[in-house]
Amino acid sequence: MSSTPDRSGVHQAVAQLLDEVVTESEPKEIVDASNLRGQVAIVSGASSGIGRAVALTLARHGMHVGFCFLDEGESSRAAAVEVANDLRQAEVRTYFRACDVRDSDDVRAFVSEVRGELGGIHVLVNNAGIGRDRALWRMEDREWDDVLRTNLDGAFYFIRAVAPHMRAQEYGKIVNITSVHGLRAEFGLANYVSSKAGLIGLTRSAALELGSRNVNVNAVAPGYIRTTRLTAGVPSEILDRARERSALGRLGDPHDVASVVLFLVSESARHITGVVIPVDGGYLV
């Protein structure tokens, strides 16, 4: 009897495994997040996309969730109500309202309201962000200011607002949603790249300043993630190029990001702080 392996069978098995990897739509959670049950999380910009996925993932693990959203009219308000209903179906409490993250007073008031309604603050996920793409020599002051104030100032205002509470209780988890564009520039994104690179710097500074009080501060850097806003606002040729540049040959899913956030706020990541984790399918490779 020959001991030579059946190469066609091996190739077929490998092809099947690769096909299963490519078609897997959502990651399977393997993090022990049992300690999160009953804790309170704030997620900014949670009415859609990555923020929504993060809020629902935390709720499925027993966290009460306070979230804010940008009020852009009836559709955005309806989306926020839908997220709140989904959170309640997970049998957790929620508090939500529109909040202008560029307004430090509004952010401070929202944080205070979440503490009062839900009983504390243990986790903060800074997800709110916008883009206003244009070549830098054509970029207007408003397009620069809006992006920097939303993506960077907003995160700073939230961290500053929750820091006293987390320091006093000597416990806290902060995750900033930055971007691969905070690590690699692309044409037409000077404002966005600057805001996300600044958010990485803020992450490291906050990790250094809050670490002595057992507060972990980390960042997640998504690549191109399938969301309504992305597919509606980004030309198809750019999405095709993103797939081609990705080692995995696909766009990510919001749950890919939410799973990493879950890990970072769990005790599995208790000794990790000040880091940036790309969730980009190998876009930066």
Query: Does the active-site annotation cover 95?
Result: no
Count of H-run helices and E-run strands, the chain: 10, 7
At residue 279, the 3 state secondary structure works out as: strand
Distance CA 87, CA 93 (A): 7
Residue 179 host element (H or E): none
270 CB-near residues (< 8 Å, 6+ apart) = 216
Distance CA 205, CA 201 (A): 6
* DSSP conformation class of 35: G
Distance CA 235, CA 71 (A): 25
Q: 45's torsion region: left (phi>0), alpha (psi -120 to 50) or beta?
A: left
Contact 2, 76 (CB under 8 A): no
Distance CA 161, CA 106 (A): 11
Amino acid at 153: D
Give first-to-last CA distance, the chain, whole Å: 45
Tokens of 91: 């049998």
87 phi and psi angles, rounded to 5 deg = -65, -40
Of 95, 157, 171, 192, the active-site residue reads: 192
Distance CA 51, CA 86 (A): 13
Contact 140, 183 (CB under 8 A): no
**Which residues belong to the active site?**
192
